[in-house]
């Protein structure tokens, strides 16, 4: 298997830095997988390459001489193309305010400049695991759209660890931050019942992030511990085992 990675970034130094990080991490995680890296300084160059892309590192604030499309527009055009494989997109940006726009083009993750090596390693490892898991990156990510402060935001479900009910709001605990919106947790429970379970009146947890559990608490993969109501425990165990069997194709 050859992993085809593209870096589309107008800053030469950043392209070189990302390329170095990719090669270092690829040596650690992909012993049996050759890694091909292609670099482009503009959206036009990247878009003209019709070869398969497994993983795309894309600068949101991409600029080209005389103007042209930025990284977000490039991502939209790539998503509209009939490709054999749709790439995982990891946005590279100087501003984390772009993160919610990134979800609209099914971005896998984003990295804020200057890119920290430790954060890069975590994100890159997760990307390789997703690709190796059987090509899930070819599919449109499951999302939920929520309204807050007069605007709508679309979030991938696999970025949500759990949802907490707090002061008539729903607080979404994401993999890297929190997001609050005006929503009732019971309504979210109904909408997300295929992969989330309400283990307590105050918690709706993403079943894919559960590491272990007891009769009184669930431990998430990030180490957080959430209370399990004694009235919810039996149904939670049934739902969780069903979720695991469904994921394993049993």
Supply the pLDDT for residue 99: 60
Q: The sheet that has 109-112: what strands, in order across it?
A: 34-40, 2-8, 55-59, 88-93, 109-112
Supply the pLDDT for residue 206: 96
Q: Looking at domain 2-138, which CATH architecture does it have?
A: 3-Layer(aba) Sandwich (3.40)
Helix (H, G, I), strand (E, B) or coil at 88: strand
Residues with pLDDT less than 50, the chain: 135-140, 248-250
* pLDDT per residue as tens digits for the range 1-22: 578 999 999 999 999 999 999 9
Going by C-alpha positions, the residue among 44, 38, 123 that lies closest to residue 89 is: 123
Which residues are paired to 88 by β-bridges? 55
Supply the pLDDT for residue 36: 92
Main-chain dihedrals φ then ψ at residue 43, nearest 5 degrees: -65, -35
- Domain ranges in the chain are 2-138, 143-248
Supply the pLDDT for residue 139: 47
Answer yes or no: same fold for 2-138 and 143-248: no
115-121 contacts at long range (C-beta below 8 A, 24 or more positions apart): 115/17, 115/18, 115/21, 117/21, 120/21, 120/25, 121/21, 121/25
| Stated pTM of the model | 0.56
* Fold type of domain 143-248: OB fold (Dihydrolipoamide Acetyltransferase, E2P) (2.40.50)
């Amino acid at each position: 298997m050859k992993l085809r990675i593209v870096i589309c970034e107008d800053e030469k130094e950043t392209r070189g830095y990302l390329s170095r990080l990719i090669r270092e991490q690829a040596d650690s995680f992909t012993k049996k997988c050759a890694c091909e890296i292609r670099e482009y300084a503009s959206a036009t160059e990247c878009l003209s390459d019709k070869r398969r892309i497994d993983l795309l590192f894309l600068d949101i604030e991409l600029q080209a001489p005389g103007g042209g499309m930025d990284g977000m527009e490039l991502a939209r055009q790539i998503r509209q193309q009939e490709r054999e494989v749709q790439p995982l997109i990891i946005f590279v940006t100087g501003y984390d305010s772009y993160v919610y726009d990134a979800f609209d083009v099914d971005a896998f993750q984003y990295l804020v400049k200057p890119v920290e090596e430790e954060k890069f390693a975590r994100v890159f490892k997760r990307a390789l695991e997703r690709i190796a898991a059987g090509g899930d990156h070819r599919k449109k990510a499951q999302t939920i759209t929520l309204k807050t402060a007069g605007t709508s935001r679309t979030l991938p479900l696999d970025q949500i660890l759990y949802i907490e009910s707090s002061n008539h709001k729903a607080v979404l605990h994401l993999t890297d931050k929190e997001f609050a919106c005006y929503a009732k947790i019971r309504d979210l429970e109904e909408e997300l019942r295929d992969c989330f379970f309400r283990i307590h009146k105050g918690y709706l947890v993403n079943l894919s992030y559960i590491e272990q559990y007891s009769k009184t608490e669930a431990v998430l993969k990030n180490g957080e511990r959430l209370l399990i109501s004694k009235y919810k425990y039996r149904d939670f165990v049934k739902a969780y085992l069903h979720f695991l069997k469904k994921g394993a194709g049993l």
